[in-house]
Amino acid sequence: MKYLKSSLTAAGLLLAGALSAQTAFHVKAGEVKGEVQPTMWGLFFEDINFGADGGIYAELIKNRSFEFYQPLMGWKIQRKEFNEGEILVQNRGNENPANPRYITVTAKDAKDKSLGMTNEGFRGMGIKKGNRYDFSVMYRQQEPGVKLRLELINAKGEKIGEGELIPNQSGADWKKQSISFVSNAEEPKAKFNIWFEGTGKIDLDMISLFPEDTWKKRPGGMRADMIQLLADMKPGFLRFPGGCIVEGRDLATRYQWKKTIGPIEERQMIVNRWNTEFVHRLTPDYFQTFGLGFFEYFQLAEDIGAEPLPILNCGMACQFNTAEVVPLNELDEYVQDALDLIEFANGDVNTKWGKVRSDMGHPKPFNMKMIGVGNENWGPQYIERLKIFTKALKDKYPEIKIVSSSGTDPNGDRFDYLNTELRRMNTDIIDEHYYRAPEWFLQNAARYDSYDRKGPKIFAGEYAAQSDRIASPNNKNNWKTAIAEAAFLTGLERNADVVVMASYAPLFAHADGWQWTPDLIWVNNLNAYGTPNYYVQKLFSTNKGTHVVPLLLNNDAVTGQNGYYASAVIDKKAGELVIKVVNTSDKAQNADFLIDGVKKLASSGKLIELHGENLEEVNSFENAVAVSPKQREIKVKGRKITAALKPSSLNVIRVKMM
């Protein structure tokens, strides 16, 4: 272990040492230790770092319905002459509490850009040449006669796309109207102008601009490049919507799923809890519009073949912030939300909530099998509330597995208390979180070897090796963190009979809008790339196999000897043996794998290698694949696989079993 530590802590080490002696590992391919659950490697999604608004939710207009604390945040009024009240923010709070604000535009012979508004997007708008953009607006005519001239402009102020919307002249009700136009240039930092022309008075709300090329081309949908990176991982589950966002800084700003479904203009926006969380990364323009709500998350999970895992508030606000709790005798509403969510996801179309789902376009149930109660909540207050939820949920839906929290840390008094209580309750699945130094991940590769095989299952729900320290803005997604995670993941895989799910956190970060590092996938307005950590997760997930088998060195699990961490599975469907071996040392090493329990192996197999030139290496927008998998063939002699392993590398070996 000491040896390993030294090779991983020497930052920037040159990793080109001489080849060390051959190590002989022993794989007992006929001795199944447990099933690898199809859910094993999955995704943790939270609207942090512009993950949803400004991220996967492809809306380009920021503050489209004027509900930010400052109603015109993100907008700039353009006018040649100042006339008081030409663009007036109205608040109809009593009539429409979910969407109180709109604007009234009064124009008098407006022309030649004399009156308009510019939206700055989420740190600009990413616009692609030749792509179609769909503009829509809700309006109510007061005095017909105003038309809207629309312009996309680049960072220099030049027009790169335009359209015109002439509001229907009839009726005084709210209505929605759309037009589309095509951009003639690519621009990462575009803005959007609306010029008002003519004479009249009109109310406007829900001013929206979406690209056509969303995921599955769904109107008002998600950014396809970001979702593709998720789909490529073939994730086993999708946990949503967080994270601390579930808890809220206070109970008033907790996540309430019922307010995130139905027509988007009826979804009540709230502040994003990451808006002011970190003084070093204040993001005052970060809100949750819920254009992306629970229906869309379930649909996303279905699209990418992942089991949905919604996490709900348990009646406690974030204990790092206000730590508000709902009195136990007022918890019913929260529990009912959980029961109703199961009906929303799985209920027949004739049930109340099943019908809501069906009316939103998904008559077929989502077949949800798990639900999380609370995120990172701790103390007896959590256990008291969890017990109430558990009773109600199990009484009505005994088949639904409950995921419960073991707090913020993987050890310490809070963890020990919760771990003891949760095991006493014989809860289904315990969610453990670890944001720790790379060395912790190495030292804990054997963490689950001694866990109770008959107790609750484990969800490694949030983890990421921290190159600096938790919540530091200086954390990097470098190879040092990624290889340490890879070593740790061999320990999760070896214990797949106990660990049934695992996900890195957080998932996304916008280069200009992040609050938290490190993150699995980085994006700007036009591009997205996976970090070295992403490729580690992806390699485990896309090579997950079906059953764990022992991989031993001198009869011991491989948890750091000679810098090695390793695990093995067989894939019964593919008829393959899959070995994962991490060489954390600074030396190239030759490894032999002697395979028992198979009649024969194919004479060659493949080795997929993920390797960093040095521990500080990162991926970037300029070089998105600096650290990315490379595949080569390897020869197999009889039942022996010999692999030359690069220094500091994760290697996945796949060989057909005959």
| Identity of the residue, 48 or 224, whose beta carbon is nearer to ligand AHR in the bound complex | 48
Asked if 602 and 658 touch (Cβ cutoff 8 Å), the reply is yes
Minimum CB separation from ligand AHR for residue 613, in Å?
A: 29
Does residue 428 bind ligand AHR (CB under 6 A)? no
Nearest Cα neighbor of 194 from 293, 119, 281, 277 is 119
Question: From CA 649, how far away is CA 586, in angstroms rounded?
Answer: 9
Minimum CB separation from ligand AHR for residue 396, in Å?
A: 27
- Which sign does the torsion angle of CA 79, 85, 86, 87 carry? positive
Question: From CA 186, how far away is CA 161, in angstroms rounded?
Answer: 10
Nearest Cα neighbor of 343 from 270, 261, 265, 269 is 261
- Phi and psi at residue 247, in whole multiples of 5°? -80, -35
Does residue 518 bind ligand AHR (CB under 6 A)? no
Does residue 244 bind ligand AHR (CB under 6 A)? yes
Minimum CB separation from ligand AHR for residue 435, in Å?
A: 7
Residues 583-622 contacting ligand AHR, CB under 6 A: none
Type of residue found at 43: L
Does residue 255 bind ligand AHR (CB under 6 A)? no
Kindly give, in sequence order, each residue whose CB lies less than 8 Å from that of residue 30, ignoring residues fewer than 6 positions away: 549, 596, 597, 598
| Identity of the residue, 203 or 247, whose beta carbon is nearer to ligand AHR in the bound complex | 247
Among the listed ranges 121-129, 237-245, 249-257, 611-619, the one in contact with ligand AHR (CB under 6 A) is 237-245
Minimum CB separation from ligand AHR for residue 245, in Å?
A: 6
Asked if 445 and 8 touch (Cβ cutoff 8 Å), the reply is no
Among candidate residues 376, 421, 485, 493, the one labeled active-site is: 376
Does residue 462 bind ligand AHR (CB under 6 A)? yes
Total Cβ atoms within 10 A of residue 396: 12
Distance of CA 584 to the CA centre of its chain: 28
Minimum CB separation from ligand AHR for residue 470, in Å?
A: 8
Asked if 649 and 591 touch (Cβ cutoff 8 Å), the reply is no
Nearest Cα neighbor of 235 from 578, 593, 503, 557 is 503
Helix (H, G, I), strand (E, B) or coil at 335: helix
Q: Which residue(s) pair with 432 in the sheet? A: 460
Does residue 477 bind ligand AHR (CB under 6 A)? no
| Identity of the residue, 44 or 195, whose beta carbon is nearer to ligand AHR in the bound complex | 44
Residue with tokens 């030292």: 443
Does residue 205 bind ligand AHR (CB under 6 A)? no
Question: From CA 356, how far away is CA 350, in angstroms rounded?
Answer: 10
Among the listed ranges 165-173, 225-233, 240-248, 552-560, the one in contact with ligand AHR (CB under 6 A) is 240-248
Q: How far apart are the first and last CA of the chain?
A: 37
Burial classification of residue 220, based on how many CB atoms lie within 10 Å of its CB (0-12 exposed, 13-18 middle, 19 or more buried): middle
Minimum CB separation from ligand AHR for residue 48, in Å?
A: 6
Minimum CB separation from ligand AHR for residue 505, in Å?
A: 4
Does residue 375 bind ligand AHR (CB under 6 A)? yes
Does residue 648 bind ligand AHR (CB under 6 A)? no
| Identity of the residue, 514 or 565, whose beta carbon is nearer to ligand AHR in the bound complex | 514
Among the listed ranges 238-246, 339-347, 550-558, 645-653, the one in contact with ligand AHR (CB under 6 A) is 238-246
Minimum CB separation from ligand AHR for residue 244, in Å?
A: 4
Residues 398-427 contacting ligand AHR, CB under 6 A: 408
Burial classification of residue 471, based on how many CB atoms lie within 10 Å of its CB (0-12 exposed, 13-18 middle, 19 or more buried): middle
Minimum CB separation from ligand AHR for residue 536, in Å?
A: 17
Among 46, 67, 151, 431, binds ligand AHR (CB under 6 A): 46
Does residue 376 bind ligand AHR (CB under 6 A)? yes
Nearest Cα neighbor of 510 from 298, 295, 281 is 281
| Identity of the residue, 48 or 489, whose beta carbon is nearer to ligand AHR in the bound complex | 48
Question: From CA 254, how far away is CA 315, in angstroms rounded?
Answer: 9
Helix (H, G, I), strand (E, B) or coil at 338: helix
Does residue 504 bind ligand AHR (CB under 6 A)? no
Please give the structure tokens belonging to residue 305: 């073949």
Asked if 645 and 588 touch (Cβ cutoff 8 Å), the reply is yes
Minimum CB separation from ligand AHR for residue 410, in Å?
A: 12
Among 242, 310, 347, 532, binds ligand AHR (CB under 6 A): 242
Minimum CB separation from ligand AHR for residue 247, in Å?
A: 8
Tell me which residue has its CB nearest to ligand AHR: 243
Q: Which residue(s) pair with 649 in the sheet? A: 583, 611
Among 144, 200, 491, 506, binds ligand AHR (CB under 6 A): 506
| Identity of the residue, 195 or 516, whose beta carbon is nearer to ligand AHR in the bound complex | 516
- Phi and psi at residue 193, in whole multiples of 5°? -105, 140
Does residue 505 bind ligand AHR (CB under 6 A)? yes
Number of residues that bind ligand AHR (CB under 6 A): 12
Cis peptide before 518 (omega within 30 of 0): yes
Asked if 177 and 165 touch (Cβ cutoff 8 Å), the reply is yes
CA distances to 75, 150, 183, 394, 513 from 265, in Å: 19, 22, 27, 35, 25
Among 57, 516, 534, 535, binds ligand AHR (CB under 6 A): 516
Question: From CA 128, how far away is CA 161, in angstroms rounded?
Answer: 10
Among 116, 145, 243, 491, binds ligand AHR (CB under 6 A): 243
Strands (E), 183-220: 187-211
Our answer to whether residue 376 is catalytic in this structure is yes
By annotation, the residues acting in catalysis are: 376
- Where do contacts with ligand AHR occur on this chain (CB under 6 A)? 46, 48, 242-244, 375-376, 408, 462, 505-506, 516
